Amino acid sequence: MAYRVPRHARIVHQARHQTRLARYAGLVLLWTLVLIMAFVAERVIPDQHLPWKPLSVIDPVGMATRVKAARAGADPRLCRAILSRAEVTFSEVPDRTEGDFCKVHDAIRIQAGLARLEPADAPLVCKEALALTIWERQIVQPAADELLGQGVVGLEHYGSYACRRMYGKSDGPVSEHALADAIDIAGFKLADGSSVMVASDWTDPGPRGQFLRRVRDGACRVFLTTLSPDYNAEHHDHFHLDMSGWTKCA
């Protein structure tokens, strides 16, 4: 029979007590480190990189911008308050349903405060309008100024709300357009009256093509879904931008 070390109740009790103390000490140390890191982050890291900081349209796009935009967009009052503080004016779109799966809820129409939408009738759920505003202010305008030497005065698009499934098919997944949670950007009207169009300028090796690729890449940092001509043939002439589903950038 194998030899077994005797177990004494007092020793066992002391061992268990020491184990509990070690666990408590570890938790205290862990939370102390977390608090120190948060304290340092508050004073060193810019707000746009910190997910717990309030979202502001005037902040540059950072690592937390997309998360904060999606979170703010889930609160109708907060979303509208952020837009109002950014001096974006908008009108409310009445809720409505259409068919079996199309619905417009918590939507607005942007009237002023960024490059005008062309056509102007573009109902957007608030989180989509918020992301569009951030993208226009922090990505599109700086890129146009640097690469094209002028500002963008119009965002030409193929529509926001459309009661349909993806790619207009009779069955399959419902498009985010059916919820007014997407917009298809076709081009950008510049201050001198000319336009940069996705269809004709995407492959341009010069400033126009560079501009389109920069604003596409920037959109990937703001919207949850960004699809461009690099994604498939159906997007050869526009950028699809929406704030729903899994993160996708192509």
Q: What are 44's two structure tokens?
A: 């060193």
Tell me, what's the pLDDT at 142? Answer: 98
Tell me, what's the pLDDT at 81? Answer: 96
Q: What is the mean pLDDT of the segment spanning 12-22?
A: 66
Q: Do 160 and 183 meet the contact criterion of CB atoms below 8 Å apart?
A: yes
Tell me, what's the pLDDT at 178? Answer: 96
pLDDT over 80 (residue 179): yes
Tokens 């902040």 -> residue = 59
Q: With bands split at pLDDT 50, 70 and 90, how would you rate the model's confidence at 52?
A: confident
Reference 176, options 185, 186, 166; nearest CA is 166
Q: How far apart are CA 85 and CA 58, in angstroms?
A: 10
3-state secondary structure of 178: helix
pLDDT over 80 (residue 181): yes
CA 201 to the chain's CA centroid: 25
DSSP 206: S
Q: Is cis: bond before 119, omega within 30 of 0? A: yes
87-140 confidence digits (pLDDT tens):
999 999 999 999 889 999 999 999 999 999 999 999 999 999 999 999 999 999
Q: What is the mean pLDDT of the segment spanning 189-208?
A: 98
| Domain boundaries defined on the chain | 9-44, 48-249
Tell me, what's the pLDDT at 47? Answer: 82
Q: What is the mean pLDDT of the segment spanning 20-25?
A: 68
Tell me, what's the pLDDT at 213? Answer: 98
pLDDT above 90 coverage of the chain, percent: 67
pLDDT over 70 (residue 22): no
Q: Do 64 and 94 meet the contact criterion of CB atoms below 8 Å apart?
A: no
- What are the start-end ranges of the E strands in the chain? 89-93, 96-98, 102-104, 107-112, 116-118, 124-125, 152-157, 182-190, 195-197, 225-227, 239-242, 248-249
Tell me, what's the pLDDT at 143? Answer: 98
CA 87 to the chain's CA centroid: 20
Q: Do 166 and 173 meet the contact criterion of CB atoms below 8 Å apart?
A: yes
Q: What is the mean pLDDT of the segment spanning 47-76?
A: 88
Reference 69, options 159, 133, 3, 153; nearest CA is 133
Residue 122 dihedral angles phi and psi, to the nearest 5°: -140, 80
Q: Do 65 and 59 meet the contact criterion of CB atoms below 8 Å apart?
A: yes
Q: What is the mean pLDDT of the segment spanning 168-179?
A: 90
CA 159 to the chain's CA centroid: 19
138-155 confidence digits (pLDDT tens):
999 999 999 999 999 999
pLDDT over 70 (residue 69): yes
Reference 238, options 183, 205, 189, 198; nearest CA is 198
Torsion of CA 111, 53, 75, 65, to 10 degrees: 60
Q: What is the mean pLDDT of the segment spanning 77-95?
A: 96
